[in-house]
Structures are given as structure tokens and as C-alpha cells.
């Protein structure tokens, strides 16, 4: 079964040529444009784009605006809740694009492919897709992973500051606007904003990722240690996943065209 459904509509309710989920009708996007849209879809555990991880195996768009994407994962038994989030997010990213009439997102070579692909196609949600096996939706799981991404991002922003000679004791008083611009800082702002946490220039650099409260000087050492450990864990898990994917498949997967800016670690 594939996750194929008219973009942004209940199956059968939208006629060819009417508005897509993005709210406009236009020429079909190029496959490379769809692939670039998939850059926004992240592995929730690793906080990395599925394109960078090699999870996208094919991406095509017909002249009528029918987009088809095939996904894969490092193992046959990757957690179904993580997999569901990625397939659902990929569907949302593709179906929202102007010019896309239908979106078909297919997860292949996974033990729960049928339930995941069918559930995303029907917009049924995780609990209904795994009726009798799941106890609820995945909002809190997504939030937990975003909090980890905030902690890892905090370390990615603070390490260069400390390496440049910034006094650690001064970090609790710093605001985001006082930190030199970088891709790591922008990513941290984005993850905090997704959680509804302070992300403006006057927001503290160091905050508790659950409450949003500033980190006190007394908690500084513990907070920085947690941030460093979280970043190390995410990077190690990402390396393991890449290794398993290379072992399972002999192709690198599709990546979007580079945009001229290197990721800052």
C-alpha cells in the first residue's frame, strides 16, 4: 500500500486542476525543488534532514503535478513511531507545494510499511494507524526530541564562544542577539521557536528547554554538561545510522543541491 492521496484533501474530494494544499495552482515543481522541500523533514531522533541522512531513494513529479517520493531507513525494524513522523512530515512538505496535485510518499523495506503508508495516506494519525497497539498521538514524543535538539544546539553555539575565550560565568547573562551570527545559532532559534520557547534577540542564550526559564549561574555547569552530552549522543547515533544504512544499501540516496553555505558544527 502506498501513501497516495490528493494533496490537502479527503481522498476523492478534489478534482484535478483545483487548488492544492499550498492554496494556489501553478506549474508542477521540478523534482529538485521537491527534494529541496524534503530538506525540512528531519529524523526526529537525530535532528538531521532525511535528505542528508540518505533516506530518500527517489523523487519524481509528473507533468500533471503528481509527486512521488520513496523513503528507506537504516534497518527493517526502525521504531515505527519515528518512521511515521518522517513519512507524515514528508507528505506535509510535498503536498503543500504549489503545483503539486497529488503526493505519494512510500516507506519501503520496513516491517510496518503497510500501516504507516496507509495511515499517512488516510490522514488517520498514528493511533488509528496502529489501532490496538498505540495509546496516543506523537506530539509529546516530537516535543521531547525537540528539547534534545535545543540542548544539542546550545552546545553547538556555546563551544565556539568558549573556545574564543568567553568566560563561562558570563554565559547566563548573554542574549541570543549578543551571540555572533552562525548557522548553529539560527538552527537553535528555529528549534526553540518550534517549541514555543523564547527565540528573539533579547531572549537568554541559556534556558531550560522544557520551562523556558533562564538558567541560573548555580545551574550553569550542569546545564552545559547536559548540552554537551546530548550533542555527543545525537552525533554518535547519527554516525551509527549512516553506517547501518551503508551496510544495508549500496546507494547513497538522493540529496538536494547544496545552497552554498556549509553547516557549522
CB atoms closer than 10 angstroms to residue 202: 9
Exposure letters 35-66 (e unless 16+ CB within 10 A, then b):
bbbbbebbbbbbbbbbbbbbbbbebebeeebb
Q: Which residues contact 236 (CB under 8 A, 6 or more apart)?
A: none
Name the residue with cell 495511515.
Answer: 119
DSSP-assigned letter for residue 46:
T
| Cβ atoms 69, 31 nearer than 8 A | no
Res 14: pLDDT: 37
Fold held by 3-15+24-129: GMP Synthetase; Chain A, domain 3 (3.30.300)
Instruction: Specify whether the CB–CB gap between 60 and 68 falls below 8 A.
Output: yes
Separate counts of helices (H) and strands (E) for the chain: 8, 6
107, 71 contact by CB (below 8 A): yes
Strands 66-71 and 102-107: what pairing? Answer: parallel
Whole-number pLDDT of residue 7: 37
Which residue ranges of the chain lie beneath pLDDT 70? 1-25, 257-265
- Return the pLDDT at 46: 97
Q: Indicate the Cα dihedral angle 90, 70, 48, 7, nearest 10°.
A: -10
Which sequence spans correspond to the domains of the chain?
A: 3-15+24-129, 139-236
Amino acid at each position: 500500500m502506498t501513501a497516495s492521496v490528493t494533496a490537502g484533501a479527503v481522498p476523492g474530494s478534489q478534482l484535478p486542476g483545483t487548488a492544492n494544499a499550498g492554496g494556489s495552482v501553478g506549474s508542477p515543481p521540478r523534482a529538485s525543488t521537491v527534494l529541496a522541500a524534503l530538506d525540512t523533514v528531519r529524523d526526529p531522533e537525530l535532528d538531521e534532514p532525511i535528505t542528508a541522512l540518505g533516506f530518500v531513494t527517489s523523487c519524481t513529479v509528473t507533468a500533471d503535478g503528481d509527486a512521488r517520493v520513496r523513503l528507506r531507513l537504516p534497518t527493517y525494524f526502525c521504531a515505527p513511531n519515528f518512521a511515521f513522523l518522517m513519512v507524515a512530515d514528508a507528505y506535509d512538505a510535498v503536498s503543500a507545494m504549489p503545483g503539486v496535485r497529488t503526493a505519494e510518499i512510500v516507506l519501503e523495506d520496513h516491517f510496518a510499511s503497510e500501516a504507516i503508508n496507509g495511515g499517512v495516506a488516510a490522514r488517520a494519525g498514528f493511533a488509528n494507524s496502529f489501532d490496538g497497539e498505540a495509546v496516543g498521538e506523537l506530539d509529546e514524543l516530537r516535543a521531547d526530541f525537540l528539547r534534545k535538539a535545543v540542548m544539542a544546539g546550545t552546545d553547538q553555539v556555546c563551544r565556539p564562544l568558549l573556545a574564543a575565550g568567553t568566560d563561562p560565568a558570563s554565559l547566563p547573562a548573554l542574549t541570543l542577539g549578543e551571540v555572533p551570527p552562525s548557522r548553529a545559532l539560527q538552527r537553535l532559534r528555529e528549534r526553540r521557536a518550534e517549541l514555543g520557547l523564547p527565540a528573539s534577540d533579547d531572549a537568554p542564550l541559556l534556558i531550560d528547554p522544557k520551562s523556558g526559564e533562564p538558567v541560573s549561574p548555580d545551574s550553569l555547569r550542569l546545564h552545559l554538561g547536559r548540552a554537551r552530552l546530548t550533542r555527543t549522543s545525537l552525533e554518535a547515533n547519527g554516525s551509527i545510522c549512516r553506517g547501518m544504512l551503508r551496510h544495508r544499501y549500496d546507494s547513497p540516496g538522493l540529496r538536494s543541491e547544496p545552497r552554498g553555505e556549509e553547516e557549522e558544527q
